[in-house]
Amino acid sequence: MNPALRPRFTIEEIHGNMVVTAEIDEVPAAQKPCYYKNLGLPKGAFIRVGNTNRQMTDYEVFGYLSSQGQPRYDEELVAGATLNDLSNDLISAYLDRIRLHRQRSGFLDGLHEGVLKRLHIVGIDGQTVHPTLAGLLMFGKYPQEFFPQLRITYVHYYGTSPDEKAPSGARFLDDRVFEGPIPEMINQAEKYILGAMRKSALIEGMFRRDIYEYPQEALREALANAVAHRDYSQYVRGSYIQVRMFADRLEVQSPGGLHGNVTVENIESEHSTRNACLMRMMEDMHIVENRGSGISAMIGAMREANLEPPGFNDRRASFQVIFHNHTLMSPEAVSWLNQFAGYPLDDRQRVALVYMRNHGQITNEDYRRLNRIDTGTATQDLRTLVQTGLVDQRSAGRGTYYTLTISGDLPSHMVLPEDERRILDYTREKGSITNEECRRLLEINPDRAFYLLDKLCKLKQLKPEGTGRWRKYIIV
């Protein structure tokens, strides 16, 4: 393998049997992907999916390799564009802002084209001046003339899955496309999506204040981060940023996984910029803050609105932010918690119980983000919960998660992972599901299918009928 593996072997006696263990550390991010040298890349690189191995795609390998350095795709020249494709008004406003806020703005002196070149808004190919990709996206009159898919799309679904239809038979209630230079595109998307949200009114003295279903700050940060951090390489310039609103959640998905040393686990504390040139322009325009504060702002905005923290999903080929719209500590949830009044639980642990009730499970990372605490405190809290008998620990190591051992109906707004939702949707439509049908539906192996079906039974969403090869599962 490259890099070479260095297993640590130990021999232990367990129940009279000699057991050999091999511990293999995860490869550092800068050395990924690890691959079989005889096959080389990409054929020798694999990724774990459930209980199976899958060969990495060319793009997944590219994603790891590009994270080892500083990509410069945002500085590439757009061959078909010229200075005439840039808006003089937008550029003038940008230069004025720089002169006002940067202490050393003397580099803005000189000929106009020279200034734009120093700012990486344009570049020169021979004798011809062309906008850079970042320059065109920020200050272009209509950037989508050259890159039609570098835009934001919005779809409003009727139910909790794309397949759930409205009474009229429509699969979605609304869809829109937002284009133009980045500042305009983000503003249009934010304004429209806010208008599509459910709202409640709060009367404060003589004034009325609208409270949106999802905090405006969280939405804007998610949109700005998606534009700033998406992958602009040739691999995915044909992919767009997607915003999907469901009955129970809002998803913002951008092409390209997390960059550099950033992972879902450390996303609040680590910072790595994929598009350094574009990021600087967006920071100068106060669209983003290039200090890694966007994630913290999202989490803080959701907390202030009494909503649970956003979820983050790095799929390597894309990155997803998920906002849920149900209040974590609702009166109904508090009433459910009252049955555990005799247990020695603190507020953090009570919140975790409700989270598990809503989602079926919780990880150390979920617990930390939910309560804004460090890893050690989260580990101790979860260990104490297991000792109460209310919670079971599943798996070990990085794959550890925790589930409720207690019975009780789950709330109607329970949010399940995508695979489980697809199983339930299929069962509702067909009346039942078998292990074989589950395997075909999700393209997984029998063990993974059994695990998911068993999990849904434990959550009292499904129940089995029959035995052996004739066993099927129906909705409870």
Query: Which CATH number does 418-475 carry?
Result: 1.10.10.10
Q: Is the per-residue pLDDT at 446 higher than 60?
A: yes
Q: Give tens-digit pLDDT for 219-248.
A: 999 999 999 999 999 999 999 999 999 988
Say if 331-404 and 418-475 have the same CATH topology: yes
Mean pLDDT for 179-207 is 85
pLDDT at 258 over 80: yes
Most confident of 95-104, 113-122, 206-215, 333-342: 113-122
290-297 contacts at long range (C-beta below 8 A, 24 or more positions apart): 294/221, 294/224, 294/225, 295/221, 295/225, 295/267, 295/268, 296/268, 297/217, 297/218, 297/221
Confidence check: pLDDT of 30 > 90 = no
Highest mean pLDDT among 41-45, 66-70, 134-138, 445-449: 134-138
Give the residue from 144, 150, 169, 366 showing the smallest Cα distance to 267. 366
The domain defined by 331-404 folds into Arc Repressor Mutant, subunit A (1.10.10)
pLDDT of residue 121: 96
| Per-residue model confidence (pLDDT) at position 49 | 73
In 3D space, the residue among 364, 264, 270 whose CA is nearest the CA of residue 318 turns out to be 264
Given a cut of 70, whether residue 316 has pLDDT beyond it is yes
At 201, is the pLDDT very low, low, confident or very high (cuts 50, 70, 90)?
low
Of 143-157, 327-341, 369-383, 413-427, the poorest mean pLDDT is in: 413-427
Could you read off the pLDDT of 330-370 as tens digits, one per residue? Answer: 778 888 888 888 888 998 999 999 888 888 889 998 899 88
The predicted structure's pLDDT at residue 111: 60
Is the per-residue pLDDT at 86 higher than 60? yes
| Domain residue ranges in the chain | 8-66, 73-145, 152-324, 331-404, 418-475
- Tokens 């263990």 belong to residue: 21
The answer to whether residue 413 scores a pLDDT higher than 60 is: no
Identify the pLDDT of residue 292: 65
| pLDDT for res 206 | 60
pLDDT band for 41, please (50, 70, 90 cuts). very high
Average pLDDT value for residue range 135-158: 96
Closest CA to 290 of 275, 279, 274: 279
Q: Decide if domain 152-324 falls under CATH 3.40.50.720.
A: no
Whether 179 has a pLDDT exceeding 70, the answer reads yes
Instruction: Output the pLDDT for position 452.
Output: 85
Beta bridge partner(s), residue 209: 202
Q: Higher model confidence: residue 166 or residue 79? A: 79
Q: Return the amino acid letter for 198.
A: R
> Mean pLDDT, the chain, as a whole number?
88
Quote the CA–CA distance of 255 and 203 in Å, as a whole number. 41
pLDDT top residue among 170 and 253: 253
* pLDDT score of 270 more than 90: no
Least confident of 103-112, 135-144, 335-344, 373-382: 103-112
| Nearest by Cα to 460 from 379, 403, 418, 419 | 403
